A = this chain, B = another copy of it.
Amino acid sequence: MTPSSSPIPDLAALLSLAHDLADAAREVIRPYFRQPIDVDLKVDHTPVTIADREAERVMRSMLADRVPEHGVVGEEFGADRAEAEWVWVLDPIDGTQAFLSGQPTFGTLIALLHNGTPILGLIDQAITRERWVGAQGEGATLNGAAIQTRLCTDLSTATVFATSPAMFQEADAACFERLSERANLVRYGLDCYAYGLLALGFVDVVAECQMELHDYAALVPIVEAAGGVISDWRGEPLKMGSDGRVLALGDTALQMEALRLLDGEQAVE
C-alpha cells in the first residue's frame, strides 16, 4: 500500500472499501425489512435470518476479491485468517431482534482491526440511511458530516443506555444498577444505534455486557474519533479477546466515576 500522512497506510482506500461493504449490505437488508421471513435460532439461542446471512456473504465475497490477504471475522460465518495483521470484523445485523420487530434501529457493523486493535469502524442503519464512520486519527462522521460527543461532567444529568436489562446477570446486574441509579435517565432497546447517538452528542453513557468482538469492534473508532472514550469495565481498551463488558462515555471526565460504580474488579470472573 502507498504510505500517506495518516497513521493508517492508505486509509482512504480502506474507508472506501468499508463504504462499499456497507452499501452492499444495505441493499441486501432493505428488501427483507418488515417482511415475513424465517427465523432460525443459533446455538446461543439468538435469532438469525436470511438477511443476516446474505449480507455477511456479500461482504465476505467483496473482501476476498479486494483484500484477499486480510483476515475476516463475521458473526454468522466465523473466522478466516483471524491472526492476520489486518482483520475485518463484520456483524451484518447488530440487533436482529429489533430488525425482526420492524424497528429501524438495528445496524450493520464493519470494523477493521490492525494487530487486534480496531482502527476503523462503521455503523450503517439501512432503513433510515444513517451511516456513522470513525477512524483512528480522523474525526467521526454521520453521513459525511463531522460529529462529536457532548460534555457531561455530572452523572446525575446523564442519559444512560443499554440494549436490555436482561443482558446483566448476577454481579453484572448489581454493577449496572449502581451506575444507572445515579443517572438522570436510563433507556433500553437500541443495540449499536445507542453508540451512534452517543457519538452524535445525544446520549452520555452506554454500558453493556455479553458483547462479542463483532458487537463492539466497530464502535471503538467511532466513539473515540467523536471525542468519547470506550473500554471494558476495568478501563482497559477493547480488542480481540476482551471479556464482553463495554463502557462508552461521551465525556472522558465521567470515566473514573463510572468505572468505580461498575466496580470492574468485582465484576471479573
Question: Residues on A close to B: CB < 8 A?
Answer: 34, 97-98, 100-105, 127-128, 159, 161, 164-166, 185-190, 193, 197, 200, 202-203
Complex CA gap A201/B128 in Å reads: 20
For A185, give the chain B residue with the smallest CB separation.
Answer: B97
Quote the shortest CB–CB distance from A242 to chain B (angstroms).
Answer: 26
6 interchain pairs, CB-CB under 8 A: A97-B185, A102-B202, A164-B188, A166-B186, A187-B188, A189-B189
For A104, give the chain B residue with the smallest CB separation.
Answer: B128
Complex CA gap A98/B185 in Å reads: 11
Within 8 Å CB of A164, what residues of B? 186-188
Our pick among B34, B188, B197, B202 for the contact of A188 (Cβ within 8 Å) is B188
Complex CA gap A197/B103 in Å reads: 8
Quote the shortest CB–CB distance from A100 to chain B (angstroms).
Answer: 7
For A166, give the chain B residue with the smallest CB separation.
Answer: B186
Contact B102 A190 (CB under 8 A): no
Within 8 Å CB of A203, what residues of B? 101-102
Contact A202 B34 (CB under 8 A): yes
